[in-house]
């Protein structure tokens, strides 16, 4: 029996040693070269597939961006063409609008002329004696200012009369040229004009002019 006991002790020692081994030490995997080669080739194929998928996805994204960019450019071109057509249409309409404006302006001027004639007709009955054209005693006069209103011309003639000067109106179309005094000689008129300007009775743009032989 003692021999049996001594024979079982090495077996128990081996069991205890196996229990001390780690998990990695208990199991060992043996790989052959062909297995490693197959795994490597599979890894390369997987990388190639992933790369191809990425390239295709990038191409699709680039094409979508290119399509959107072309669409934007086309939209901008269409908008520019529409604006160009609108500008051309407005340019074509501009002459007709100008013509209408000219017609309206002409009508307004005609109405103003009629009103001026009516005003002149109404004022002629009450025009002051100083506004009447005096008898021609000389060939020159001094033109002070030009008015379109008979009332304004009569007012200025009244002021000139208060200062001892004879004022009168020489009609010219729808305008009234207010003149002062009459002179036989042009030099005499120039000398008198200089005196009036120095006294600031007439404006600086007053000038000597000839009296027309026929006045309406």
Query: What is the residue extent of each domain of the chain?
Result: 1-126, 129-210
Please report the pLDDT score of residue 58 as a whole number: 81
Please report the pLDDT score of residue 103 as a whole number: 56
DSSP letter for 133, please.
P
Where does residue 149 rank: exposed (0-12), middle (13-18), buried (19+ CB within 10 A)?
Answer: middle
**Nearest-CA neighbor of 154 among 129, 174, 181?**
129
Phi then psi dihedrals of residue 209, to 5 deg: -145, 160
A 10 A CB-CB count for 154 gives 21
Q: Tell me the β-bridge partners of 209.
A: 141
Q: What is the DSSP string of 98-130?
A: HHHHHHHHHHHHHHHHHHHHHHHHHHHTT--GG
- Whose tokens are 């729808």? That residue is 174
Please report the pLDDT score of residue 2 as a whole number: 52
Please report the pLDDT score of residue 109 as a whole number: 58
- pTM confidence score: 0.38
CA distance 182 to 135: 10
Phi then psi dihedrals of residue 208, to 5 deg: -85, 135
Please report the pLDDT score of residue 117 as a whole number: 44
Please list the ranges in the chain whose pLDDT falls under 70. 1-29, 31, 92-138, 214-216
Please report the pLDDT score of residue 131 as a whole number: 47
- List the 167-172 sheet strands across, edge first: 167-172, 175-183, 140-147, 207-210
The DSSP bridge pattern shows strands 167-172 and 175-183 to be antiparallel
Structure tokens at 25: 């030490």
DSSP letter for 206, please.
-
pLDDT tens by residue, 118-165 = 444 444 443 443 444 555 556 899 999 999 999 999 999 999 999 999
Q: Tell me the β-bridge partners of 177.
A: 146, 170
Domain 129-210: homologous superfamily in CATH: Sporulation related repeat (3.30.70.1070)
Please report the pLDDT score of residue 26 as a whole number: 62
Q: Tell me the β-bridge partners of 172.
A: 175
**Nearest-CA neighbor of 191 among 132, 142, 156?**
142
Please report the pLDDT score of residue 87 as a whole number: 82
């Amino acid at each position: 029996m003692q021999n049996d006991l001594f024979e079982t002790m090495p077996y128990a020692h081996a069991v205890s040693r196996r229990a001390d081994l780690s998990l990695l030490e208990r199991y060992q995997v043996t790989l052959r070269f062909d297995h490693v080669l197959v795994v490597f080739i599979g890894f390369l194929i997987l990388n190639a597939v992933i790369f191809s998928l990425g390239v295709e996805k990038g191409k699709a994204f680039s094409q979508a961006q290119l399509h959107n960019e072309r669409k934007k450019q086309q939209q901008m071109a269409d908008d520019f063409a529409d604006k160009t057509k609108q500008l051309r249409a407005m340019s074509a309409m501009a002459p007709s609008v100008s013509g209408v404006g000219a017609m309206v302006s002409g009508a307004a001027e005609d109405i103003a002329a009629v009103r001026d004639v009516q005003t002149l007709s109404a004022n002629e009955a009450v025009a002051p004696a100083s506004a009447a054209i005096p008898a021609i005693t000389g060939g020159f006069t001094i033109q002070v200012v030009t008015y379109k209103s008979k009332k304004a011309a009569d007012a200025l003639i009244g002021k000139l009369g208060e200062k001892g000067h004879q004022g009168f109106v020489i009609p010219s179309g729808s305008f009234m040229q207010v003149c002062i005094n009459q002179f036989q000689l042009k030099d005499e008129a120039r000398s008198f004009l200089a005196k009036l300007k120095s006294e600031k009775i007439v404006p600086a743009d007053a000038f000597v002019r000839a009296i027309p032989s026929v006045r309406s």
